[in-house]
Structure 1
Amino acid sequence: MVKRALIERRPWLLLSLFFGVSWWFVAGGAMPGLYQIAWKGAAVGALAVYAFQRHLGRDGALIAGVMTLYALADMAQELWLAAGGVLHAVGHVLAIWLFARNRRANPTRSQRLVGIALLVGVPLDAFLLAFGGEGRWLVAGYALILGAMAAMAWQSRFSRYRIGAGAVLFVLSDLLLIAANGPLRSVALAGALVWPLYYIGVLMICTGVVVRLRRERG
């Protein structure tokens, strides 16, 4: 019954789960490259459609836009890592706008401290992980935008245990990606964990925002 209800009421969410979970097994396989790129983009692309079709006003359009940019970034990343980074950064800026519009009125001291830690710690960690490699200042610049997104998500009025935690998983995924191209290049598990951490994080952010907005609209 639960599966049937999910298919009937949230087909795009189910489609996203299918592509998101299966991509972990499809990546690097025998499937032709263009199909792999489309398969990867479909995971978060379906989340964009899921958010858009909820008709949740400006905030709903913003989260759909964020997911669209992330999906485009996922596909571009397969062709050129830097292009994926630029598109992800633009998506983060749009997400910052969304969370700024929904900032918590009176964040606690611990929430402010976590926000500061993310804003400062993420670019610093990225710089250290990329140390000695080419373009580490660009990596740190991207990580600053990523850290700002996570900090704003943590201090937004949305659930910290869904949106905040999802943003932190996104951060961990990108830091692992940087490490997998640097000091952890020989550690296969580091690269293998990038996608599941990223996808689960994005899924938590999207569904968390949509559920909250839908609840508020009755």
Structure 2
Amino acid sequence: MPKRALAEKRPWLLASLLAGISYYFVRDGQIPGLYLMAWKGAGVALLALYALARHKGADSRQIAAVMAFGALGDVLIELVLEWGAVAFLIGHLIAIHLYWRHRRARLSPSQKLAGIAFAVLIPAISFMLPSDRAAAPGVAFYALGLGVMTAAAWTSSFPRYRVGLGAVMFAVSDLLIFARIGPMAQSPLPNLLIWPLYYFGQFLICTGVVGELRRRSATA
């Protein structure tokens, strides 16, 4: 790869890692709210810029849009929970469209079973988690998009142990959010795990998709 490409494009990925990892350590500090929200959104927003810089094409713009709506959700969820959920859901729908267009030609029975399990179990478990049962239908509606996105990622032709695994990590992060308003309300685990699972899940999704698109372009 030309040195110019390394100098101009890889820094977006490094900047994303710095923002995403450092946010974990400052999120409970005394930083003013607006600055902290911007810091939170920066990690995934920079992944969107990375995708646009590393590959030119409709697919890379689509995964960049997924990251952009994720970053918007990161910020909006701090203001109004429902606004953040809508932004994330839009991102899931865009991702589903991308993964479906790049679905794997042949799936083993276990891979098909895993896809069905993600699509069914993620919304089902999400529905059962909130202590406030009035909130459960809305949670399940959002989780239906999350579950289908995870299933589509797992059964796509993108690298399963990057894109598929990243989607699973994203889903587990959201399940922990729902558990925090339910059976794990007193547990420290959600607070410890939600952000690392979410951010590195997005990181794996973005770099996995972009890396595969670049590989296909090079061999076309």
Q: Check if 1:151 corresponds to 2:155.
A: no
Segments of structure 2 that go 5 or more residues without pairing to the other structure are none
Q: Number of paired residues?
A: 214
* CA deviation after TM superposition for structure 1 residue 80, in Å: 1.3
* CA deviation after TM superposition for structure 1 residue 56, in Å: 2.9
* CA deviation after TM superposition for structure 1 residue 134, in Å: 3.1
Which letter maps to 2:12?
W
- Cα distance in 1 for partners of 2:64, 2:74 equals 15
- Cα distance in 2 for partners of 1:160, 1:75 equals 29
Quote the sequence identity (%).
51
Counterpart secondary structure, 2:215: helix
| Structure 2 counterpart of 1:174 | 174
| Structure 1 counterpart of 2:216 | 216
Q: Check if 1:92 corresponds to 2:92.
A: yes
Q: Is the 8 A contact 2:55 2:214 kept in 1?
A: no
Which runs of 4 or more aligned residues in structure 1 lie more than 4 Å from their structure 2 counterparts after TM superposition?
5-9
TM-score with structure 1 setting the length: 0.95
- Cα distance in 1 for partners of 2:175, 2:6 equals 33
- Cα distance in 2 for partners of 1:6, 1:45 equals 20
| Structure 1 counterpart of 2:111 | 111
Which letter maps to 1:78?
E
Segments of structure 1 that go 5 or more residues without pairing to the other structure are none
Change (3 A) 1:24 1:111: same
- Cα distance in 2 for partners of 1:33, 1:6 equals 34
| Structure 2 counterpart of 1:129 | 129
Counterpart secondary structure, 1:184: coil
TM-score with structure 2 setting the length: 0.94
| Structure 2 counterpart of 1:74 | 74
* CA deviation after TM superposition for structure 1 residue 43, in Å: 0.4
